[in-house]
């Protein structure tokens, strides 16, 4: 059976598409609920980008050392213990990809609703998820081609909005110079909490790690895909949010008390291109959210598949079709996404999974010190090394710790709910161990 492979361009596109999703088009509205200084708001996106870049540099070395697909599930199993990897994989296979797919699909429906009035956004969201599930259940090559086209178009659209916005007449009321209010906001709990929204927007910088086995020369191309994709998105995010605040008044961008999502891309486009042009941009944004949904439908099921190779209770998901696609895992994730489409909101998704995902990325990057200590007796078989080590991982760990502590203090309920989900995973792990007491951490399929 011929195994299809993903090249560097496609792997980078998957990283970019995973990162540029729903959050960048809506999250500035949540940030304006507690912050108002333009300097503070842009600083959020700078810190978020730096954190993602630091993480990508570290994941590059860890991914080069452990080239099996599965991301944190594989890394944490190898670096710590199979139980730790299982907990990460359990979160990834149940909510970490499925819930953001639902959020992106709902955003697609909401943007489409600016033109297609009378349509229920959930119906359109469901149709898109079902269509992409079908595509990615049949062929990796066709799915990668679709991913490349939509991701390239998405980057071009963002560049177009950035250039047009910077050349447009300024109608926003946000000041960007630092002042007393900026310092007060930076030291506030609101700043740390809003890093949740920003970190959610940047999430996906590790996307290519979930399908390492399917990347050509993963020890060489995986670190490049993570770094190039993250760097491109960081620059685009900072400039795009600068444009949003430059062209639109804060009262139009801010989420009101009912937490209803504000489509800030549509609001900004109205100020740049007029009402008719704004509607056109809204439809284009909706179409390009397809790449976000598509990329997560590609990456997420690879975690479930690898878990199925190792864990008896998940064995059904290890199955691959004749094209080497984990079709059952794809269908399973999409089924959960459809549930979230009808049962959750964007805000709830971020608060629920933000704490837990940050915890596992923290543990993964911390594992680079374990990896380096092992190499004192066994030289590495790969050439990529994290730039700036040990400063790079230490800075990442400090920034993530900051978010975790403030997140738990100011948002205890969703943080505890996330930890409860982890506890459920731990119970399932020990049930599996009891069912298969002689099981070792070896894949059932190679």
**pLDDT tens-digit series, residues 203-249:** 888 888 877 777 888 888 888 899 999 999 999 999 999 999 999 99
In a domain, 1, yes or no: no
Averaged pLDDT for residues 136-161:
78
Averaged pLDDT for residues 396-407:
88
In a domain, 408, yes or no: yes
The span from the CA of 42 to the CA of 64, in Å, is: 33
Residue 231, domain CATH: 1.20.1740.10
Q: pLDDT band at 303, cuts 50/70/90?
A: confident
| pLDDT, tens only, 334-346 | 999 998 888 766 6
In a domain, 440, yes or no: no
Tokens of 395: 């800075």
The 8 Å CB, 24+ separation contacts for 185-189 are 185/34, 185/35, 185/36, 185/37, 185/40, 186/40, 186/43, 188/34, 188/35, 189/406, 189/409, 189/410
In a domain, 446, yes or no: no
Q: pLDDT band at 440, cuts 50/70/90?
A: very low
In a domain, 223, yes or no: yes
What is the radius of gyration, based on Cα positions, of the chain?
Answer: 21
Beta-strand ranges (E) seen in 28-158 are: none
**Distance set, CA 179 to CA 41, 73, 175, 186, 248 (Å):** 13, 44, 10, 11, 21
Helix (H/G/I), strand (E/B), else coil: 26: coil
DSSP per-residue codes, 161-179: HHHHHHHSPP------S--
| pLDDT, tens only, 149-164 | 877 888 898 999 999 9
Helix (H/G/I), strand (E/B), else coil: 6: strand
In a domain, 443, yes or no: no
In a domain, 172, yes or no: yes
**Distance set, CA 17 to CA 229, 238, 239, 248, 406 (Å):** 9, 17, 17, 26, 29
Statement: residue 358 has pLDDT above 90: no
Can you name the residues that pair with 6 across neighbouring β-strands? 215
CA dihedral sign of residues 217, 220, 224, 227: positive
Q: What is the percent of the chain with per-residue pLDDT over 70, rounded to a whole number?
A: 90
Q: pLDDT band at 1, cuts 50/70/90?
A: very low
pLDDT recorded at residue 70: 79
| pLDDT, tens only, 171-214 | 888 888 888 889 899 888 888 888 877 887 898 888 888 777 77
Q: For 366-405, what is the HEC assignment?
A: HHHHHHHHHCCCCCCCCCCCCCCCCHHHHHHHHHHHHHHH
Query: What is the residue range of 15's domain?
Result: 8-435
Domain count, the chain: 1
């Amino acid at each position: 059976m011929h195994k299809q492979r993903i090249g560097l361009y496609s792997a980078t596109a998957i990283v970019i598409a995973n990162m540029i999703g729903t959050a960048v088009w809506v999250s500035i509205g949540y940030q304006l609920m507690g912050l108002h200084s333009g300097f503070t708001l842009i600083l959020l996106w700078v810190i978020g980008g730096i954190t993602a870049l630091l993480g990508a540099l570290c994941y590059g070395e860890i991914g080069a050392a452990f080239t099996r697909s599965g991301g944190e599930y594989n890394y944490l199993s190898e670096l710590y213990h199979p139980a730790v990897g299982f907990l990460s994989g359990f979160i990834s296979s149940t909510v970490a990809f499925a819930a953001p797919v639902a959020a992106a699909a709902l955003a697609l429906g909401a943007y489409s609703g600016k033109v297609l009035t009378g349509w229920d956004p959930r119906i359109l969201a469901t149709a898109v998820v079902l269509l992409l599930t079908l595509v990615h259940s049949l062929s990796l090559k066709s799915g990668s081609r679709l991913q490349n086209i939509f991701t390239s178009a998405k980057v071009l659209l963002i560049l177009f909005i950035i250039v047009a916005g910077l050349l447009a007449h300024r109608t926003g009321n946000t000041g960007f110079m630092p002042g007393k209010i900026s310092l007060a906001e930076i030291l506030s709990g609101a700043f740390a909490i809003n890093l949740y929204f920003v970190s959610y927007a940047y999430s996906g910088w590790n996307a290519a790690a979930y399908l390492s086995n399917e990347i050509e020369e993963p020890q060489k191309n995986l670190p490049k895909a993570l770094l190039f994709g993250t760097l491109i998105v960081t620059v685009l995010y900072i400039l795009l949010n600068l444009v949003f605040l430059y062209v639109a008044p804060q009262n139009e961008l801010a989420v009101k008390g009912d937490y209803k999502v504000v489509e800030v891309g549509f609001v900004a486009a109205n100020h740049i291109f007029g009402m008719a042009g704004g509607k056109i941009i809204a439809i284009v944004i909706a179409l390009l959210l397809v790449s976000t949904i598509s990329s997560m439908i590609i990456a997420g099921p690879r975690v479930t598949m690898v878990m199925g190779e190792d864990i008896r209770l998940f064995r059904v998901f290890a199955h691959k079709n004749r094209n080497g696609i984990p079709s059952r895992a794809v269908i399973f994730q999409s089924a959960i996404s459809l549930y979230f489409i009808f049962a959750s909101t964007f805000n709830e998704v971020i608060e629920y999974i933000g704490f837990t995902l940050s915890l596992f990325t923290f543990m993964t990057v911390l594992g680079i010190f374990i990896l380096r200590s092992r190499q004192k007796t066994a030289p590495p078989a790969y050439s990529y090394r994290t730039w700036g080590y040990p400063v790079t991982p230490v800075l990442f760990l400090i920034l993530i710790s900051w978010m975790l502590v403030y997140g738990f203090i100011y948002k205890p309920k969703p943080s505890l709910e996330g930890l409860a989900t982890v506890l459920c995973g731990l119970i399932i792990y020990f049930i599996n161990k009891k069912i298969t007491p002689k099981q070792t951490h070896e894949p059932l399929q190679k």
